[in-house]
């Protein structure tokens, strides 16, 4: 069937759904298509930390009611190394900003529940982009051809949007890390009142939370590791060792009911626009998760994109559309830098010379002794100002 929509959005992740809400609020007609089922989207475990402005945006869109009730708001993070703990006081360092822990799939549930049903299609097969060299680009699916004024490619790293741009027009930058994260969910009460990021000679570990009864923990593993190599006993033993401290503290353990392994890369596609196709979020850039930036960068892209589309529908002005990629990239590269910094600072990388490993330890010592260095970390962690 042939259909028409003003803005066609591929991908019902944070980028696509948030864009749909921003456009809906401005009276612009948008349709989101995703190849996964609603159930799958709402149960995939990923991010946990939201920047302050992301939280403010969700609340301003009327999407923050459950978040306000159920999220955890922390006054900073703890860095742990050499068996010691160091609290970074974010409200003091950033003029009142805090860390919000609210799982990505909970954000997605809230975004999906608040969109009219006819604005989103799940389980759409054979999504392809066509007529990108015309003023009427289209999303072709197994059943429909959806003609659009604009297409937003919000379909993540593996989606079809970026690949629809001719190779000769694409400029990308990438680095792949020689480690991954094994993430678990466990039934246990919190072990600590805030997130703990630990550097240990056995590798990185991260203590996060989901609720008073469910905790989220991560540990550095090899990127090609198989989950079968990681028995529950081995996971707890590694976490205990990597989080060990001389203080009166112990890790609360429980039943592990979810495990997954993710590999880690940094990637930027500087070609974020091709004609009337605009890439946003993981479709255009990937960060390793250590800085907790991916979802937040995706949200920032679509704020910039929505402003540009709203301006175009107001008076057909193309200025903001033309500035979309450079405006986003200026902030994206800072997110890339911070994520790379946190990752190299906190992970054990045997490919690095011992000299460099000692430099990371010196960096950590410097950080916990310098207000200025803490401020630099904190202002990045809570989120740099949004592009104007
Ligand atoms: P995605 O969430 O990947 O959404 C893309 C959507 O497109 C998906 O629903 C997919 O089904 C759909 N799609 C793909 N292919 C097709 C197709 N062919 N047809 C139709 N639809 C398609 N970020 C943070 O900000 N804070 C954190 O604390 C954090 N922690 C993380 C921890 C881990 C372990 C991981 C893995 C990631 C973490 N991130 C974090 C990153 C964050 O999860 C991503 O950056 C975020 O999901 C990007 O959103 P997106 O909408 O761009 O893409
Ligand atoms: C979580 C994920 C992150 O990448 C991070 O840096 C902190 C917390 C989480 O899933 O809770």
Residue 74 annotated to the active site: yes
pLDDT of amino acid 387 = 65
CA–centroid distance, residue 12 to ligand 1 (Å): 9
Which tokens sit at 321?
């559309």
pLDDT of amino acid 115 = 98
Matching residue, tokens 């906190």: 346
* pLDDT for 139 beyond 70: yes
Which tokens sit at 343?
């990752």
User: What's this model's pTM, rounded to 2 decimal places?
Assistant: 0.97
For the chain, what percent of residues have pLDDT higher than 70? 99
Span 157-167, mean pLDDT? 98
> Would you put residue 5 in left (φ > 0), alpha (ψ -120 to 50) or beta?
beta
Span 169-181, mean pLDDT? 98
Which residue in the list 137, 289, 324, 360 is annotated as catalytic? 289
Residue 177 annotated to the active site: no
Q: Is residue 287 within 8 Å of 333, Cβ to Cβ?
A: no
Neighbours of 384 (CB within 10 A): 18
pLDDT of amino acid 386 = 83
**pLDDT tens digit string along 69-126?**
999 999 999 999 999 999 999 999 999 999 999 999 999 999 999 999 999 999 999 9
Ligand 2 atom nearest 290 alpha carbon: 6
C-alpha–C-alpha distance, residues 25 and 215, integer Å: 35
* pLDDT for 188 beyond 90: yes
Radius of gyration (Cα) for the chain, nearest Å? 21
CA–centroid distance, residue 164 to ligand 2 (Å): 31
C-alpha–C-alpha distance, residues 289 and 224, integer Å: 17
Q: Is residue 151 within 8 Å of 276, Cβ to Cβ?
A: yes
* pLDDT for 388 beyond 60: no
Q: What sign for the dihedral angle of Cα 318, 322, 328, 331?
A: negative
The residue whose C-alpha atom lies closest to atom 46 belonging to ligand 1 is 295
**pLDDT tens digit string along 24-69?**
999 999 999 999 999 999 999 998 999 999 999 999 999 999 999 9
Which residue in the list 14, 21, 72, 74 is annotated as catalytic? 74
* pLDDT for 251 beyond 60: yes
Which residue in the list 72, 177, 197, 218 is annotated as catalytic? 197
Span 366-371, mean pLDDT? 98
Residue 189 annotated to the active site: no
Kindly report the backbone phi and psi dihedral angles of residue 177, in degrees, each rounded to the nearest multiple of 5, phi listed first.
-95, 150
> Would you put residue 373 in left (φ > 0), alpha (ψ -120 to 50) or beta?
alpha
pLDDT of amino acid 296 = 98
Alpha helices in the chain (DSSP H): 14-25, 38-43, 52-60, 65-70, 90-94, 104-113, 160-163, 232-242, 294-315, 319-322, 324-346, 354-369, 371-381
Average pLDDT, the chain: 97
**pLDDT tens digit string along 120-138?**
999 999 999 999 999 999 9
pLDDT of amino acid 343 = 98
If we measure between CA atoms, which residue out of 367, 387, 366, 363 comes closest to residue 375?
A: 367
Residue 218 annotated to the active site: no
pLDDT of amino acid 312 = 98
* pLDDT for 279 beyond 60: yes
Span 332-336, mean pLDDT? 98
* pLDDT for 245 beyond 70: yes
For the chain, what percent of residues have pLDDT higher than 90? 98
């Amino acid at each position: 069937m042939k259909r028409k929509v003003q803005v066609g959005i591929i991908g019902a992740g944070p980028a696509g759904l948030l864009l749909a809400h921003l456009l809906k609020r401005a009276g612009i007609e948008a349709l989101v298509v995703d190849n996964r089922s609603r159930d799958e989207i709402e149960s995939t475990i990923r991010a946990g930390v939201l920047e302050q402005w992301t939280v403010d945006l969700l609340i301003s869109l009327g999407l923050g009611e459950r978040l306000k009730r159920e999220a955890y708001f922390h006054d900073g993070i703890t860095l742990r190394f050499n068996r010691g703990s160091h609290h970074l006081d974010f409200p003091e360092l950033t003029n009142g900003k805090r860390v919000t822990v609210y799982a990505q799939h909970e954000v997605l549930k809230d975004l999906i529940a608040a969109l009219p049903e006819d604005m989103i299609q799940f389980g759409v097969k054979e999504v392809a982009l066509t007529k990108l060299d015309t003023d009427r680009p289209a999303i072709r699916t197994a059943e429909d051809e959806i003609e659009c004024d604009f297409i937003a490619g919000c379909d993540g790293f593996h989606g079809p949007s970026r690949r629809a741009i001719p190779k000769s027009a694409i400029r990308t930058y990438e680095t792949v890390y020689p480690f991954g994260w094994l993430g678990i969910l466990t039934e246990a009460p919190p072990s600590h009142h805030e997130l703990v990021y630990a550097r240990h000679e056995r590798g990185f570990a991260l203590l996060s939370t989901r609720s008073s009864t469910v905790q989220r923990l991560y540990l550095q593993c090899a990127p090609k590791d198989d989950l079968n190599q990681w028995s529950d006993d081995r996971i707890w033993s590694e976490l205990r060792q990597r989080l060990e401290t001389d203080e009166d503290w112990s890790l609360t353990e429980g039943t592990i009911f979810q495990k997954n392994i993710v590999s880690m890369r940094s990637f930027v596609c500087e070609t974020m626009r091709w004609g009337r196709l605009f890439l946003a979020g993981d479709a255009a850039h990937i960060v390793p998760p250590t800085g907790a930036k991916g979802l937040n960068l995706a949200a920032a892209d679509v704020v910039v994109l929505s402003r540009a589309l709203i301006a175009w529908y107001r008076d057909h002005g193309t200025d903001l559309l033309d500035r979309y990629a450079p405006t986003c990239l200026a902030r994206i590269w800072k997110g890339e830098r911070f994520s790379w910094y946190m990752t190299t600072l906190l992970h054990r990388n045997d490919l690095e010379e011992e000299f460099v490993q000692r430099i990371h330890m010196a960096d950590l010592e410097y950080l916990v002794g310098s207000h200025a260095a803490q401020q630099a970390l904190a202002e990045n962690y809570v989120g740099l100002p949004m592009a104007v």
